[in-house]
Every structure is written in C-alpha cells, then in structure tokens.
Amino acid sequence: MTNPTPPPDRDDAWAKAGSQFNVGTLPKDAININVQGKRVAGPVKGFGALWQKTYTARFVGTKPDPNTVIREWRAHFGDFWPKGNRFFTEGSRVDPGAVAVLNLSPAPGATVVTGIMVLFADDEQFTFLTPEGHMFGGMITFTARVDEETSDTIAEIQALIRANDPFIELAMALGGTMQRTSIGRRPSPISPGILAQQQHRRRRKSASTGVCAGRKPAISSAAR
Amino acid sequence: MVKSTIALTVRKINAQTSVIDIKGDVNAAADAALADAYAQASGQGIRTVILNFSGMDYMNSSGIGLLVTLLVRAQRQKQHLRACGLSEHYQEIFNLTRLNEAIGIFADEAAAAVA
C-alpha cells in the first residue's frame, strides 16, 4: 500500500525568502547586463504615480481550460514575444524565484537589457517583479479566466507599475505603453491564430497624493 | 473565476485607529470586500488602519496587488496602514516585494496600535 500523494504546498508558489536577481546560465546570444545582483523595485516605491493597466485577450473558436492556458503560458513564455524581443531564463520555464533577462528592441538598432523575477507562479496565475534600474518598478500578473456571460476563455495581464524617472512617467501618461501591449499578441501554440481576437486595456492612475483618474480606451486587435 | 473565501470584520479600537480582521484567502476575488472594509475602517478621524492577518489562510500575488492599491488609498487619505499577525512566510513576502517599506509590520495588534 502506498501513501497518497500529499497536496502541493501552496506556499511553494512563492519565490523563496531572500530571493535576489541572480541570473542563471543563459544562451550565449543573450545580452546579460543590468540584472545580476539587482534588488527588487516593487510597485511601492518609485518616481511617479502608481498605474494599474489591464490587458485582455479572448480565445475565439476554442475554450481552453484557464489552468491549461496558464500552464502553457508558463512553459512557452519566451515564445510569445514580438520579433526582435527576447526573453531568456535558465531552463526557459516560468517558475517561482526564476530570474529572466529581457533583450528588448524598442526601436531599430536599439537594445534595452533588463530583467524580471518570478515572484509567484501556480496553476492559476504567475507574477513578475522588476529590478532596480528597470524603466518602471512594479509587478505584472498573468491570469486566465472564463467569461461568465459568454463562457469564452480570457487571458489577462495586469500591471501595477510606477515609473522610475520623469521621462518614463511622461511616456506612460501619454500612452507610451504600446510596446508592452504587444506582449501576448502572438498566437499561442494551443490556439493557433486565434488568441488575440479582442484586446482592451484599462488604466487607473493612483497618485499617492492626488486624484484617481481613469479611462478605458479600446485598442484594435492584432490577431495573426 | 476564483471564488472569494475571505471574511472581514472591521473594529474601531480608539478614536484614531481601526482594525480589519482578515480570515480566509486574500486573492483577486477579495477586491470588493477589502475595498468595502477599508471604506468602513477609514471613517472620520481615523489616522491608522491595522490589517490583522492572524486569521488569514492564504494569500497569492493578486492579494499583494490588492494591498498595494489599498496602500495608495491610505496615502491619499493621509492614513497609515499597518499589518499584524503575519506568518513568517508572509513577512518574507512583504520583504521581497518591499511592501514592508510602506506598511509597518508588527507582531500583534497592541504593538501596531501604539507604534
């Protein structure tokens, strides 16, 4: 007689205490600067107001289980980036405490190198934290759910971020977040060509001493 | 959709301090309940709101996000947000996310009230 498998410890979904930005072994073509040894820059401190931004993508023609979406998203996260942008992490998975290096191309010929740490990851969601020196401090959470009205499966990205310098704050106020919006536009391997049929975003600027303002512009889909 | 299992009780322990007792899970489904509880707790004259986590079963990263937005609300209202009853594990999460730099962590309600 074998003992039943104990249920997973929910606390294992969190990065371990004292986790730092320690970059593991990466592919040789990864540019690895600006990340190793950095401290976390959470959403609490920073130059600017706290912004909450939510991006959603509705699955069309298929209704994958939300946990399947999260499992595949974690397993293939590095595959979903726009052309010219790379996500490197040791073992290529999104696991609690993992550190990834991002090589981003905001403009032709320019490369921005930064990173993220996986704060939390389970079957229902995963969350990244940014390092000091990143353009913004904050946490970004990826979830999936079933729309109660349509029963469609919806993938969602919610960012709680605070600019780390006045230029980024200005860019955020002017809507300079399209580059981040493009994350997730590429089709998922479990739903070829059908992921991003609908995408919208929501903003909420929560100034630490000021007014809470909001608007909900719809943006066009980028399904491919 | 994540189901809410949170139960919140609001108490006023003196003219300037309220306590929110948190039981159950703190996750995305707790958003409305937590906002309502904070609105109740932060009445006129309140300077400090203590979040009592001693009855909390679990919190995920969305729960941390809710605390961040609650903190912004407290700062807007010029109120202090404090935490007590956190397990060692969640104290470490506060440290990791640097939430501890904005929300004071205390061993118990009495210590949080006199700080």
Q: Which two tokens stand for residue A172?
A: 């955020």
B62 touches chain A (CB under 8 A): yes
Residue A4's pLDDT is what?
62
Query: Is the domain covering A41-215 a CATH 3.30.530.20 domain?
Result: yes
Q: How far is A171 from chain B (nearest CA, A)?
A: 21
Interface of A with B (CB under 8 A): 10-11, 13-15, 17-19, 40-45, 50, 52, 119-120, 122, 124-127, 129, 139, 141, 143, 145-146, 148, 158, 160, 206-210, 212
Any domain includes B1 = no
Verify whether the Cβ–Cβ distance A15 to B96 is below 8 Å: yes
Distance from CA of B23 to the nearest CA of A (A): 17
Angstrom CA distances, B68 to A16, A52, A134, A162, A178, stand at 20, 11, 19, 11, 24
Written as one string, the DSSP assignment of B5-50 is --EEEEEEEETTEEEEEEEEEESGGGHHHHHHHHHHHT-TT--EEE
Contact by Cβ (8 Å): A88, A101: yes
Q: How many contiguous H segments (helices) and E segments (strands) does chain A have?
A: 3, 10
Task: Return averaged pLDDT per consecutive 10 residues of chain A, 224 residues in all.
Answer: 65 87 87 88 82 91 95 91 87 87 87 92 95 87 95 94 80 58 35 34 41 28 27
The structure tokens listed for A212 are: 């809470």
Sign of CA dihedral B104, B106, B108, B113: negative
pTM of the model: 0.82
pLDDT at residue B1, as a whole number: 60
To the nearest whole number, what is the mean pLDDT of chain B? 95
In order of A202, A207, B30, the CA distances from A214 in angstroms are: 8, 11, 21
Number of Cβ within a 10 Å radius of residue A181: 16
Q: Report the chain B residue with the minimal C-alpha distance to residue A155.
A: B1
Q: How confident is the model at residue B29 (pLDDT cuts 50, 70, 90)?
A: very high
Say if B82 falls within a structural domain: yes
Lowest-pLDDT choice from A40-49, B53-62, B68-77, B91-100: A40-49
Which residues on B lie below 8 Å from A207 (Cβ)?
Answer: 72, 76
Position B2 in a domain = no
Do B98 and A42 count as a contact with CB atoms less than 8 A apart? yes
**B54 in A contact zone (CB under 8 Å):** no
The total number of structural domains in chain B stands at 1
Nearest residue in chain A measured CA to CA from B72 = A208
- What does the pLDDT read at residue A136? 82
Q: Does the residue B36 lie in any domain?
A: yes
pLDDT class of B5 with cuts at 50, 70, 90: confident
For residue B70, the model assigns a pLDDT of 95
Across-strand partners of A131? A40
Contact A130, A114 (CB under 8 A): yes
CATH code of the domain containing B33: 3.30.750.24
ipTM of the complex: 0.92
Q: Dihedrals φ, ψ of B90, to 5°?
A: -75, -25
Q: What angle do CA A166, A169, A171 make, to 5 degrees?
A: 110
DSSP state of A218: B
Residues of A in contact with B102 (CB under 8 A): 44-45
Section B29-46 average pLDDT:
95
Q: What is the pLDDT of residue B94?
A: 96
Residue B58 domain boundaries:
7-114
| pLDDT value at residue A3 | 59
Number of residues that make up chain A: 224
Question: B89-110, pLDDT tens digit by residue?
Answer: 999 999 999 999 999 999 999 9
Under a CB-based contact definition with an 8 Å cutoff, are residues A121 and A25 in contact?
Answer: no
Task: Identify all chain A residues contacting B99, using CB atoms and an 8 Å cutoff.
Answer: 42, 44
